[in-house]
């Protein structure tokens, strides 16, 4: 496994010189974000650092088992830090309200795997080849020679597993299985992780999924599948935004579909779009970047201002254009 020794050495030197550290992650955190944040926080605590772990949004219910001590908290003003470490966040804006609470710091480290990362830190370790940030954190701990406990292993295995679609996405590499094996060897509780993350959904999510199957639409010779999630849908089903995580995979899995898209109402004239591609020739990161967003080649998103129907038309048109070009 390549370890990018110089950048890791710089990160570890910065951490060693720091006493107070703040670990942060992106809004609406997923398994990779929470797993990376918590895994790193626990490792730093074990090294005797004074650490806080901040996220604008609460941990999704299915990931709460990773944080029995409630280490992940909302940010607060008026704190000074020797070092702030952002994990799995492609830009400063993705940190949400956390961004305005971490200005009083000496060093800012950015560890991420998104192709669209804006290199906003003082030290930026951005490796777009990695399928998850969890794999980068594992590598960091190995080079540092810090103990990787069973609790840390649970966090990092969850990070690696969720961002590779349980090792199914084509981004998964031989090194990913190696890392997963190392984490299981160190005590990652597979049965617990798989039960909590993949097999314990609240009833509200099932209601939301029922809605998705009733409302999704196909267009462009069934190559594009999309659906809307309005605020009223969450109210009607008793679901919250965490429950929508992964719903897109259900329409992505339809055989003729090449690109799946979810339009989610944030405000009356602000829509969150999520895009997934299952064709190497269709790069949804490029589509998302047209709307001020980003992500990966096969998974990306953006927040798009404008009237809902106008947003839908523009996004679907952009997807069609890329599909038409890629098929030539």
Same domain for 212 and 179 = no
Residues 181 and 288 in one domain: no
What is the pLDDT at residue 170?
A: 83
Same domain, 299 and 193: no
- Are residues 262 and 156 both part of a single domain? no
Which SS3 state, helix, strand or coil, does residue 10 take?
helix
Tens digit of each residue's pLDDT (9 = 90 or more) over 144-200: 999 999 999 999 999 999 999 899 888 899 999 999 999 999 999 999 999 999 999
Give the number of other CB atoms < 10 A from CB of residue 61.
16
Domain that holds residue 243: 204-326
Q: Are residues 260 and 310 in the same domain?
A: yes
Question: Scanning the structure block, which residue is given the tokens 């080849």?
Answer: 129
List, for residues 86-123, the tens digit of each pLDDT value: 999 999 999 999 999 999 999 999 999 998 899 999 99
The CATH number of the domain holding residue 284 is 3.10.310.30
Residue with tokens 């909302």: 74
Clarify whether residues 15 and 146 are in a common domain: yes
**Last residue within a domain, chosen from 142, 172, 198:** 198
Contact 42, 162 (CB under 8 A): no
Q: What are phi and psi of 130, to 5 degrees?
A: -75, 135
CB atoms inside a 10 Å sphere around CB 104 = 11
Res 152: pLDDT: 98
Reported as a single tens digit per residue, the pLDDT across 248-258 is 999 999 999 99
| Greatest pairwise CA separation for the chain in angstroms | 58
Q: Average pLDDT in the 33-48 region? A: 98
pTM metric for this prediction: 0.89
DSSP-H helix ranges across 87-173: 133-144, 150-163
Domain ends where: 143, 178, 198? 198
Number of domains present in the structure of the chain? 2
CATH classification of the domain holding 111 = 3.90.1640.10
> In DSSP terms, which residues pair with 263 in a beta bridge?
228, 273
Q: For position 169, what pLDDT does the model report?
A: 83
- Which helix (H) or strand (E) segment holds residue 274: the answer is strand 270-277
CA distances from 193 to 133, 151, 178 (A): 18, 11, 18
Last residue of a domain, one of 198, 221, 250: 198
184 and 250 inside one domain: no
Q: Which of 94, 113, 107 is nearest to 22 (CA)?
A: 107
Residues 223 and 194 placed together within one structural domain of the fold: no
pLDDT of residue 1: 44
Report the alpha-carbon distance of residue 72 to residue 25 in Å, rounded. Answer: 10
Exposure of 323 in the CB half-sphere (CA atoms within 13 A): 21
pLDDT band at 242 (very low <50, low <70, confident <90, very high): confident
Same domain, 241 and 168: no
Q: Are residues 303 and 285 in the same domain?
A: yes
| pLDDT, tens only, 265-323 | 999 999 999 999 999 889 999 999 999 998 888 899 999 999 999 999 999 999 999 99
> Are 211 and 183 within one domain?
no
pLDDT at residue 5 in the model: 66
Mean pLDDT of the 214-227 span: 97
């Amino acid at each position: 496994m390549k370890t990018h020794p110089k950048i890791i050495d710089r990160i570890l030197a910065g951490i060693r010189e720091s006493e107070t550290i703040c670990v942060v992650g992106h809004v609406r955190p997923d398994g990779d974000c929470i797993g990376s944040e918590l895994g790193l926080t626990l490792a730093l605590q074990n090294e005797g650092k004074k650490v806080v772990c901040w996220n604008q949004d609460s941990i999704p219910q299915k990931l709460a088992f990773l944080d029995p001590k409630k280490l992940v908290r909302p940010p607060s003003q008026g704190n000074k830090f020797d070092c702030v470490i952002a994990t799995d966040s492609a830009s400063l804006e993705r940190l949400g309200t956390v961004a305005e609470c971490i200005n009083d710091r000496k060093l800012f480290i950015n560890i991420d795997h998104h192709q669209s990362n804006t290199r906003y830190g003082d030290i930026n370790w951005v490796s777009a080849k990695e399928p998850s940030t969890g794999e980068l954190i594992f590598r960091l701990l190995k080079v540092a020679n810090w103990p990787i406990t069973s609790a840390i292993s649970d966090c990092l295995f969850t990070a690696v597993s969720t961002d590779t679609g349980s090792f199914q996405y084509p981004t998964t590499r031989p090194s990913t299985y190696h890392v997963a094996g190392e984490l299981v060897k160190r005590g990652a509780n597979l049965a617990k992780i798989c039960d909590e993350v993949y097999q314990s959904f609240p009833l509200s999510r099932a209601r939301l999924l029922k809605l998705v199957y009733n409302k999704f639409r196909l267009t462009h010779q069934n190559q594009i599948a999309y659906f809307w999630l309005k605020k009223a849908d969450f109210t009607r089903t008793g679901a919250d935004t965490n429950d929508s995580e992964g719903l897109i995979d259900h329409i992505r899995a339809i055989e003729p579909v090449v690109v799946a898209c979810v339009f989610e109402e944030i405000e009356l004239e602000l829509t969150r779009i999520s895009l997934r591609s299952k064709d190497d020739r269709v790069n949804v990161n490029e589509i998302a970047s047209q709307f001020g967003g980003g992500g990966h080649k096969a998974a990306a998103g953006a927040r798009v201002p404008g009237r809902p129907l106008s947003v839908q038309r523009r996004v679907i048109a952009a997807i069609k254009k890329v599909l038409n070009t890629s098929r030539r």
